[in-house]
Amino acid sequence: MALDPKTVARVATLARIRVPEADLAPLAEELSNIVSWIEQLGEVDTEGVEPMTRVTTMTLPMRADVVTDGGKREAVLANAAQATAEFFTVPKVVE
């Protein structure tokens, strides 16, 4: 699929990219080469090939899904400007 400078100008406008008039023809040729390369990829037989998410097989380390309070309540509340009992105290924002 060959792109002409008019089409490239339209795409640049849609993408909100300012392209000088002198650069439209070389850009059209370059984009045409890219599109033809993508069309070649469509001709590759991928029957029976599993999709892959990465080049190497790896398993992510898992940790136990355990609910904890962190055991650092006092340390966290020490950073608060104001604290009441076990909670942060913030000014009222609704009138």
* Residue 68: inside a domain: no
pLDDT tens profile 2-14 = 899 999 999 999 9
* Residue 87: inside a domain: no
* Residue 57: inside a domain: no
* Tally of CB atoms within 10 A around 48: 5
* Residue 26: inside a domain: yes
Task: Count up the domains in the chain and report the number.
Answer: 1
* Residue 77: inside a domain: no
* Residue 28: inside a domain: yes
User: In the structure encoding, which two tokens stand for residue 90, read together?
Assistant: 């913030």
Please state whether the predicted TM-score (pTM) of the whole model is above 0.75.
no
* Residue 69: inside a domain: no
* Residue 75: inside a domain: no
Provide the residue range defining the domain that includes 25: 5-41
pLDDT tens profile 6-61 = 999 999 999 999 999 999 999 999 999 999 999 999 899 989 988 888 888 888 88
Residue 77, burial from CB neighbour count under 10 angstroms (0-12, 13-18, 19+): middle
